[in-house]
Structure 1
Amino acid sequence: MDALADRLMRGPRGRHFLMGMLAAGSERASEAIFLASRDFSDNSASFGWAVEGSSTWEPPHVTPSQAADALAAVAASAPHVRGLLRALRETVDDAMYWQAPGGGEVLASRPELDEVLARMASTIAGAPASAWLDSPLKRDDQHRVRWPSTEHSHGVPHTWDTSTPSAEVLAQWGAAVREEESTARKERPADPSAPWGGTWWSVPPLPLVTTMRALGELGPVGLHLVEDSFGENAAVTVRVAVSPGARVLEIACAEDWADLCRRHSVDVTASRRHDWFRCTGRAGDWVIPDWEQVAAQYDGVHLTGAAYLEASRVPIRVDDVRASVIAGWNPDTTVWLRDVTRPEYPEVRWAWPDGGEWVPD
């Protein structure tokens, strides 16, 4: 199996994406996936299927094997960019690191679907439209994305404000992380299954500059791929220039993240254990990268789309005791830890009309 195809098969997020790509080509397969997912979901809502001879309305029961058969009947055709983004959008938008995996992710992880998903993974890995998923930072084509309505509703000032130096942002972040962890050790239960929630992300601090590549007329990837989005229908983007000598760390697979945590990490066991136990099922010590330390060596960190699909939501083994989680990132995101970018105006405004595709406004 191709290296990219193999990595798409490793994690629940990648397998969910593959399942969505196949199901998009068949109404029958989509229905089978929906029904089979019910067995693995807390949502027991019924939508009006009748059982013959009964006055009670119940949906038909579909097993993982039957869902796999429905998917196997769909031709695994090479994707175009729009179709790829639609399936990725659904997968990314479903990301929630403070609760157990949804029924779709659990179904996609079942061994009954291995063969049919592997076929789709091989098809995607060989398609030109998918090449960017496994590509390093595209230095000459980076863009920032703003969501004006979210800024307004949350009372957040202009998110492109870079008046605070990155070093100061990181120093404040480092102090806050350690203070929260110290408080959590004293005040939060040690039982990871306790009904407690708190900080769950591992992304660098949000005030730092974040960029993504563009996909031609479809615009920047960041328009389309947003974890747990607010359903925005308006956005603003601007292209940015990156200093030629900027040092960028590529996170191209789970092991890259693990290696980063071995070199530069901060303990977050007490502050993350409850959410990440629900998310991954793992109980143990947790770490995240110490972004303040990382900034001494790198100007930015780029998470490829393939690494996101392989490694998000899973416990990434750092050593015999510690693990980490990639949480709060979006595919193909680069977070700049140092002040090495500048905007190249003009801004571009985008709208999300009823047709369901971003277009220049």
Structure 2
Amino acid sequence: MSALEQRIEDFLQAPLAAAFLVLADRNDLDGDQLADPATACTLASTALRELNPWSGGTRPAVVRADVLEAARPLRSLLAAVLADERNSWWDAPLQRDAQLLLTGREDRQPDPFQVPVPVGPIGSWETYAQKPVHALITSTELAVPAGEPIRSSAHAELACGASDWDPAYPVDQRRLQVAEHARIAEVHSAADWHALSTRYGDPATHHGSDSSLREVAEIDNGLAPTWSALAADYDGVHLSFAGLLSALYVPVSSPQSGTTTLWAWDWECTHWIRSVFIDTTALPQLPEPPQAMNYWQPLG
């Protein structure tokens, strides 16, 4: 099996990638339209809104199963999109000169030059949310026209997502320059997340997956990296756009660490656990949520 064929299989087994394809098909979006980064990010955030385990609609596991089945006839569309060189940014390594930091008036993001390095064992919230509690979060600036409001995956989340990030406007925007020596752990697949969790997780501090996630959404979140251990080798963890689509809600199991399921990262982003920035540029504030095309259709 070629690398492309394997990637196609990975995407067809991933609920978010499947929902992305189903919404694209129902909105009559072709390969050329999906090659637009703003369109792709908007569609992903819209799809993720439907898959959110706390959305209150149809049982999340049923929705995930339905979209996986509905996406099966869309294999040719997926193959064309994944083979399109215009979409190479989907699984590109972190772009160090294009990291956008968006901060609402009440957000508790650390100063880029004073990011606290995690210490000690992982906390219960960090296991549940699969994130370091005091991280700084950036998203990669997209190659879009100057007037495009969706300038990153984070902008798409603000426009049409359903995460618990609800910033108070105006939102400050800064472009950060990442040092060349910064060490980045790349997550492009569910297997990558499982490998990070296996290598840096501590089974002794893991008391089982969240009971609400198991009961309501049938998600076994499993072990998460102990961020203080990961900080010995890395300065940040980057979830690529391809990783977002292909890893969320996909369980991976191994005898060493059991099952892990990445579920709580909502857009292409990097969680920084150390200050590795050499420059910051202030950009115009966002006075209100960015406007995006409405691709919403019920999936359940």
- 2:209 maps to 272
- 2:91 maps to 134
Q: Equivalent of 2:78, from 111, 115, 121?
A: 121
- 2:154 maps to 222
The alignment's TM-score, normalised by the length of structure 1, stands at: 0.66
The alignment's TM-score, normalised by the length of structure 2, stands at: 0.78
Q: Is the 8 A contact 2:110 2:136 kept in 1?
A: yes
Give structure 2 stretches of 5+ with no counterpart. Answer: 294-300
Give structure 1 stretches of 5+ with no counterpart. Answer: 26-73, 182-197
- 1:87 maps to 43
| Displacement of 1:137 | 0.7
**What does the per-residue CA deviation read over 1:282-326, in whole Å, with 9 as the maximum and x for residues that have no partner?**
66x921111110100111111111112112122221436611121
Q: Is the 8 A contact 2:45 2:267 kept in 1?
A: no
Q: Equivalent of 2:139, from 212, 219, 229?
A: 212
> Do residues 311 (structure 1) and 247 (structure 2) align?
yes
Q: Which amino acid aligns with 1:92?
A: L
Q: Is the 8 A contact 1:246 1:340 kept in 2?
A: yes
Q: Equivalent of 2:15, from 12, 16, 20?
A: 12
For 1:298, what is the secondary structure of its paired residue? Answer: coil
1:351, 1:8 → 2: CA distance?
36
- 2:218 maps to 281
2:179, 2:291 → 1: CA distance?
38
Q: Equivalent of 1:109, from 68, 72, 85?
A: 68
- 1:96 maps to 52
**What does the per-residue CA deviation read over 1:221-270, in whole Å, with 9 as the maximum and x for residues that have no partner?**
32113652466675321011111111111112122122222211034654
Structure 1 vs Structure 2: percent identity of aligned residues? 19
Larger Rg computed on CA atoms: 1
| Alignment CA distance shift 1:282-1:85 (3 Å) | closer
TM alignment of 1:151-170, pairs within 5 A = 151=106, 156-157=107-108, 159-161=109-111, 165-167=115-117, 170=118
1:355, 1:346 → 2: CA distance?
21
2:27, 2:127 → 1: CA distance?
34
For 1:324, what is the secondary structure of its paired residue? Answer: strand
1:305, 1:118 → 2: CA distance?
19
For 2:292, what is the secondary structure of its paired residue? Answer: coil
| Alignment CA distance shift 1:17-1:257 (3 Å) | same
1:83, 1:356 → 2: CA distance?
8
Q: Which has the higher contact order (CA 8 A, sep 6+)?
A: 2
RMSD: 3.2
- 1:21 maps to 24
- 1:195 maps to none
Q: Which amino acid aligns with 1:126?
A: A
1:321, 1:165 → 2: CA distance?
30
**What does the per-residue CA deviation read over 1:170-195, in whole Å, with 9 as the maximum and x for residues that have no partner?**
12xx4461xx49xxxxxxxxxxxxxx
| Alignment CA distance shift 1:307-1:80 (3 Å) | closer
138-147 or 266-275, which deviates more: 266-275
Q: Equivalent of 2:272, from 330, 336, 343?
A: 336
| Alignment CA distance shift 1:235-1:3 (3 Å) | farther
| Alignment CA distance shift 1:336-1:16 (3 Å) | same
Count of equivalent residues: 276
| Displacement of 1:164 | 5.5
Q: Is the 8 A contact 1:2 1:125 kept in 2?
A: no
1:136, 1:248 → 2: CA distance?
9
Q: Which amino acid aligns with 1:13?
A: L
